[in-house]
Amino acid sequence: MEDTQRVLTWEEEEEHAKVDVWKYVFGFVEIAVVKCAIELGIAEAIESHGSPMTLLELSSALSCDPSHLYRVMRVLVHLKLFKEITTNQLGSKGYAQTPLSHRLLKSGENSMVALILLESSPVMLAPWHGLSARIRGNISNQLFEEVHGEDIWSFGAANPDHSKLLNDAMTCDVKAAVPAVIKICIEVFKGLETIVDVGGGNGTMLRLLVEGCPWIRGINFDLPHVVSAAQDCDRVENVGGDMFDRVPKADAVIIKGVLHNWGDDDCIRILKKCREAVPKDTGKVIIIDAVIDEKYEKEDKKLAYLKLMLDMVMIAHTNKGKERSLKEWEYVLGGAGFSGHTITPVPAIQYSVIQAFP
Ligand SMILES: C[S@@+](CC[C@H](N)C(=O)[O-])C[C@H]1O[C@@H](n2cnc3c(N)ncnc32)[C@H](O)[C@@H]1O
C-alpha cells in the first residue's frame, strides 16, 4: 500500500517526540482505566438505563463518588470508549455507548471483557517485567515459568479460576473470529462430515462452526482439565488428551490460536499428529493463526501492529511461541510433511486461514 504521508523533518519529529514519549510513560493507564470501567460496570449501567445517563444518574447507579467518576469518564470519553452527548434543548449532557464500550459489557457476542481481565491480571502481567532478561538470554526458562514455577497450561490445571478466565478470554476471540472465517471461507467446510478442533478450549469454536455449517459433527479436543469444564453442545463431543500423543481421527482438523504458542520443533510434532488424524487423499488441516507480512505491503497498519504485539505476548507467556511469517509457516508445514497449502487472509481480523493438505 503506497504511503502518501510526507516524510517529517528531524525538527518536526523532535516536536512530536516531546509529547509522544509520554505514551510510554503512562501507557498502562489506558488499560487500568478500562479495567476500572469493567469492574464498575459502567457499560452495563448505561445499557440497562436504555438511554444516555447524566453523571449523577451514573454515579448513583454505580454507588460512586461523582467527582471521581467524572474524571474517569472524562478519560473514557477522550479515548472514545464512551461518548458524551447533548440530551435535551437545555444542553444537558449524558454518557452514551459506542461500539467500543459495547465490548466492555460482560456478556454479549462482542464482549472482550474476559480477554482484557486476563491480560491485565497480576498473573499475566508479572512475566512482562522479565522481558529484557529473556531477550538477553539471562533467563533460559520461559518467563511465565520463571515467575509462576510452571508453564501456563500446568498453572491453569492447578488454578481452576485462572483456567476459566483463560478459556473465557479465548472465547472472546473465537466469537470475533469464527463468524468472519465462516463468512469468507465457507467453501473450506463444505463436504466435511467430521472435524476435530485441536486445543479447542471450552468448545465455543466448534459450537459456532456446527451452527454455521449444520452438516458437520465436531470433536472438541483439549487437555483433560480443559474439556472437563467445556460446555455441552449438540453434535459436539468433548475429548480430553494430549495433542503431542495423538489427535482423534476426523475428515479434517481445525487448529486455531494453538500453533503460535509453540516453537518450530513442537509445531512440527503437533502438525504431524494432525496430518496423521485426517484421510491422506481427502483430508486437510485448517490452521487459523496470524501470518506476519514482513514487507508490510498490503496490510492494515492496526492489524499489522496487533500481530507484532501478539508476538511479544508469545515471548512473555510461552516458551518458544511466536507469530510466523509466510516463510516460517512454510518451514513448519514442510517439516510436518504436508504436500501443499493455501493461505487466505480473513478481512478485518488478525488471522489467516491456512489449509494444509497431507
Ligand atoms: C491459546 S489457547 C487457544 C484456544 C482456542 N483454540 C482459541 O483459539 O480460542 C491454546 C489451547 O491449547 C490447549 N493445549 C495446550 N497444550 C495442549 C496439549 N498438549 N494437548 C491439547 N491441547 C493443549 C490449551 O489448553 C488451550 O485451550
The per-residue pLDDT of the chain, averaged, comes to 94
Average pLDDT of 7-17? 95
The ligand 1 atom at the shortest distance from the C-alpha of residue 170 is 9
Catalytic residue selected from 148, 260, 317, 341: 260
Q: Is the dihedral of CA 280, 286, 287, 291 positive or negative?
A: positive
CATH architecture under which domain 174-357 falls: 3-Layer(aba) Sandwich (3.40)
Residue 260 bears catalytic tag = yes
Three-state SS string over the chain comes to CCCCCCCCCHHHHHHHHHHHCHHHHHHHHHHHHHHHHHHHCHHHHHHHHCCCECHHHHHHHHCCCHHHHHHHHHHHHHCCCCEEEECCCCCCEEEECCHHHHCCCCCCCCCCHHHHHHHCCHHHHHHHHHHHHHHHCCCCCCHHHHHHCCCHHHHHHHCHHHHHHHHHHHHHHHHHHHHHHHHHHHHHHCCCCEEEEECCCCCHHHHHHHHHCCCCEEEEEECHHHHCCCCCECCEEEEECCCCCCCCCCCEEEEECCHHHCCHHHHHHHHHHHHHHCCCCCCEEEEEECEECCCCCCCCHHHHHHHHHHHHHHHHHCCCCCCEEHHHHHHHHHHCCCCEEEEEECCCCCCEEEEEEC
Distance, CA 223 to ligand 1 centroid (Å)? Answer: 7
Which residue bears the cell 469444564? Answer: 229
300 within ligand 1 shell (Cβ under 6 A): no
- The confidence score (pLDDT) of residue 297 equals 61
**Region(s) of the chain under CATH 1.10.10.10:** 10-102
Average pLDDT of 245-267? 97
266 within ligand 1 shell (Cβ under 6 A): no
User: What digits encode the pLDDT tens for the residues 286-345?
Assistant: 999 999 987 656 678 899 999 999 999 999 999 899 999 999 999 999 999 999 999 999
Distance, CA 287 to ligand 1 centroid (Å)? Answer: 13
User: What digits encode the pLDDT tens for the residues 159-204?
Assistant: 999 999 999 999 999 999 999 999 999 999 999 999 999 999 999 9
With pLDDT > 70 as the criterion, what percentage of the chain qualifies? 97
173 within ligand 1 shell (Cβ under 6 A): yes
Class of CATH domain 10-102? mainly alpha
Residue among 38, 25, 24 nearest 120 (CA): 38
- Are 97 and 46 in contact by the 8 Å Cβ rule? The answer is yes
200 within ligand 1 shell (Cβ under 6 A): yes
256 within ligand 1 shell (Cβ under 6 A): yes
- For ligand 1, atom 27, the nearest C-alpha belongs to 201
**Region(s) of the chain under CATH 3.40.50.150:** 174-357
- For ligand 1, atom 13, the nearest C-alpha belongs to 199
